[in-house]
Amino acid sequence: MRRLPIYLLIDTSGSMKGEPIESVKIGLDTMLRTLLNDSLMADFSYISIITFDKKVSNILPLTWVKHAVIPNLVPPNSGPTFLGAALELLIDKVDTEVVKRTNSCDGDYPPIVLIMTDGKPSDLSVFEKMCERIKKRKFSKIIACAAGPLSSEEQLRSITDNVVNMCTLDSFSFVKLFDMVCSKFDTNCEYESEAMENLPKEISI
Partner 1 sequence: MNIIKLNALDGTQIEFDKDSQAGCGAMKDVYFSPDKSYVVGFFRKPQDNNSRERLQTIVTNYKKMLFENEGGKNIESLFCWPTHIVEYNDGNKVKIGVVCPTYDKKFFFASGKFKGKEQEGKWFASAKLRNKFLESDVKGNWLNYLQVCIKIARAVKRLHAAGLAHSDLSYKNILINPLSGDACIIDIDGLVVPGKFPPDVVGTPDFIAPEVLETMELEKNDKNKKLPQRSTDQHALAVLIYMYLLYRHPLRGGMVCDPSDSDNDEKLLMGKEALFIEHPTNNKNRPLLSSLSKDELPQGNIDLLPYTLVGPYLKELFDRAFIKGLHNPRERPTADEWERALIKTVDLIQPCPNPKCEAKFFVFDNTKYPKCPFCGTSYEKTLPVLNFYYKPRSKGNFMNENIRLMVFEQQSLYKWHIDRNIFPNEKIKDCDRKPVGDFHFIKGKWWLVNRNIEKLVDVTTEPHVEILKKQKVELTEGRKLLFSNNGNLRLAIVQMANDKKRK
Footprint on this chain of partner 1 (rule: CB under 8 A)? 17-24, 26-27, 29-30, 33, 40, 147-150, 165-172, 175-176, 179, 182-189, 191, 193-205
Which of these, 135, 131, 151, lies nearest to 85 by C-alpha position?
Answer: 131
Q: Which is closer to partner 1, CB of 77 or CB of 103? A: 77
Which of these, 188, 180, 193, 181, lies nearest to 43 by C-alpha position?
Answer: 193
Q: Which is closer to partner 1, CB of 1 or CB of 203? A: 203
- The sign of the torsion formed by the CA atoms of 89, 92, 93, 94 equals positive
Tell me the closest approach of the beta carbon of residue 134 to partner 1, in angstroms: 26
Tell me the closest approach of the beta carbon of residue 130 to partner 1, in angstroms: 27
Q: Which is closer to partner 1, CB of 124 or CB of 150? A: 150
Q: Which is closer to partner 1, CB of 135 or CB of 201? A: 201
Tell me the closest approach of the beta carbon of residue 17 to partner 1, in angstroms: 5
Q: Is residue 45 within 8 Å of 51, Cβ to Cβ?
A: no
Tell me the closest approach of the beta carbon of residue 124 to partner 1, in angstroms: 25
- Residue 193 contacts by C-beta under 8 Å, 6 or more apart in sequence? 39, 40, 201, 202
Tell me the closest approach of the beta carbon of residue 92 to partner 1, in angstroms: 30
Report the distance separating Cα 125 and Cα 93, nearest Å. 21
SS3 41: helix
Q: Which is closer to partner 1, CB of 33 or CB of 133? A: 33
Q: Is residue 122 within 8 Å of 86, Cβ to Cβ?
A: no
